[in-house]
Amino acid sequence: MADALLPTRAELTDRNGVTLARAFPAYALWYNPVALEDGGSPLVKSPQAVAQELAAIFPDLDPAVLSRQLASRKAGYIRRRVLPEDANKVQAIGELALELPRESDRHYPQGRLAAHVLGYVTDGEGHVGMEAVLDERLTDPAQRDQPVALSIDARVQGALEDELGRGMRLVNAVGAAGIVLDVDTGEVMAMASLPAFDPNRMDAEEHKLVFNKVTNQVYELGSTFKPLTVAAAIDAGLIPDISRQWQASRPLVMGRFRIRDLKPIGASLNAAQTLASSSNIVTAQIADELGPARMKQTMAELGFNERPYIELPARGFPIWPSGEWPRLRAMTISYGHGVAVTPLHLASAYATMVNGGIWRPATLRKVEPGQAPRGRRVFKESTSQRMNQLVRMISLYGTGRTADAPGFRVGGKTGSAEKPGDGGYQRTTLVSTFASAFPMDDPRFVIIIMYDEPKGTAASSYQRTAAWNAAPTVGRLVPRIGPLLGVYPDEGREVDLSDVDHLIKGARK
């Protein structure tokens, strides 16, 4: 008897106890053509008349399709979820063949919110998201009365989806992905893949939207790799003097391949100017000095050679060149061409770069204080401190200026990469990404925003690159979520740039 009083499936909540998924008793609408025992017609009225009455209660039903189902005399569901008030209306039709069995249903009170995190349930079985991952735990009779807390914050999730959706519409992108990650624990505070599905109504159209662009789709993420390359070089001792210059006026010629910048930047650049102006030429030279073996090792230590670490079952395998990397490959990978990873890979890498150099796996389970995994060291703490200065400078002086939210000390790097296709890279289609963190004087959270095939519109000044779409989204999002996460604006605070600020002077703004 006690077991009968338990929910059939435990609740899922956000980190603050907000219900995201719960089980509740519901009605289904079942057609039973043998309900009348006399062997005659299963319906008192005609199938067409009954179909019209049902369609009046449930407007999304097609009367013609329903009429054929009723006329076929085959038993089956007409509808899996029926509200009590609608069940009363069905009973009022007066047809015994329309049965209303009580069934347990899964309800998502926040609708599409965090759909790709949660997944969905059909016939008592979890699919796609944490419903699938935690299926055994959620259905365990000994634990069904105990909610499971996820890492996400429903308020932050809502803000991310709102700003990501707004940005996607403004530039007519075909899709978008976003993630907010705690840099010290690996907790995912929010994750969104758009367009999203509605777990409350999983029809054929909704099933088309279950693919998770954050964890399962790999992309070449372009210039967002450049800070990671510079960090690897600093860590290896190749840039002991941050004011060191490299030539930037001539393309690099490697056989028939030429590495060039979109437009001339200057005769020579230091590391700070290279990142602020996003120079392929100088980044490739830095990678060449680092060497293919060290470049490959660093990328592997950041997890770019394997599926991203997170509980979700759908995790994309990177496009990762095997064997020894030739010189040219290491140079092109340094600016984000030749390796394809998920946005989650990038989020974990940036968290490593800004948190003192420790890589930790991402998680969708709430982490209790003091229980974060130890992780593994990738960069020296001094390297991380230097990179925090440099990525902050990008938002002050470089391509990331549109992400700079006053008082929040945002830092980050734009990346706009042509999508590969038949015959090579497609100049007309971009993946535009902004990889960021805040506040850079004491980094707490990483944000990745990515738009798939954004168009140049009036809202983006007819530009398609990340500085005009993904970066402004971060600039709008941070003031919304910062206070929710305990980070408040303080225009009296700033990253200490006293030993590097002069290095940016002379870079193109």
Express each pLDDT in 429-464 by its tens digit. 889 999 999 999 999 999 999 999 999 999 999 899
Neighbour count for residue 480 (Cβ, 10 Å): 16
Say what the pLDDT of residue 255 is. Answer: 83
Tokens representing 479 are 């003031």
Structural Rg of the chain based on CA atoms: 27
The per-residue pLDDT for range 253-312, each reduced to its tens digit, is 988 899 999 888 889 999 999 999 999 999 999 999 999 999 999 999 999 999 999 999
* CB 500 within 8 Å of CB 389: yes
Residue 427 pLDDT exceeds 80: no
Residue 422 pLDDT exceeds 70: no
* CB 409 within 8 Å of CB 482: no
Rounded to whole angstroms, how far apart are CA atoms 20 and 157?
Answer: 11
Q: What's the mean per-residue pLDDT of the chain? A: 92
Tokens representing 440 are 């850079």
* CB 236 within 8 Å of CB 298: no
Tokens representing 492 are 């009296």
Say what the pLDDT of residue 415 is. Answer: 94
Spot the catalytic one: 223, 277, 279, 416: 223
Say what the pLDDT of residue 27 is. Answer: 84
- CB-side neighbour CA atoms (13 Å) of 108: 21
Q: Is residue 395 among the annotated active site residues? A: no
Maximum alpha-carbon separation in the chain = 94
Task: Describe the crossing of helices 226-235 and 280-290 by its angle, rounded to 10 degrees.
Answer: 40
The per-residue pLDDT for range 11-43, each reduced to its tens digit, is 999 999 999 999 877 788 999 988 776 667 888
Output the CA torsion sign for 344, 195, 455, 402: negative
Q: What would the DSSP string read from start to end of 381-438?
A: HHHHHHHHHHHHHHHHHSTTGGG--TTS--EEEEEEEEEEETTEEEEEEEEEEEEEEE
Q: How far apart are the first and last CA of the chain?
A: 71
* CB 288 within 8 Å of CB 327: yes
Rounded to whole angstroms, how far apart are CA atoms 370 and 479?
Answer: 28
Q: What would the DSSP string read from start to end of 27-83?
A: EEEEE-TT-STTSS-S-SS-HHHHHHHHHHHSTTS-HHHHHHHHHHT--EEEEEEE-
* Count of H-run helices and E-run strands, the chain: 17, 19
Single pTM value for the model: 0.89
Is cis: bond before 439, omega within 30 of 0? Answer: yes
The per-residue pLDDT for range 52-103, each reduced to its tens digit, is 999 999 998 999 999 999 998 889 999 877 888 899 999 999 989 999 988 7
Say what the pLDDT of residue 1 is. Answer: 36
Phi, psi for 368 (deg, rounded to 5): -75, 150
- Please name each of the domains of the chain with its CATH number: 155-504 (3.40.710.10)
For residue 374, the 8-state DSSP code is: -
* CB 195 within 8 Å of CB 205: no
Say what the pLDDT of residue 314 is. Answer: 92
Taking CA atoms, 211 is separated from 127, 163, 406, 432, in Å, by: 12, 20, 35, 19
- In the chain, the percentage of residues whose pLDDT exceeds 90 is 77
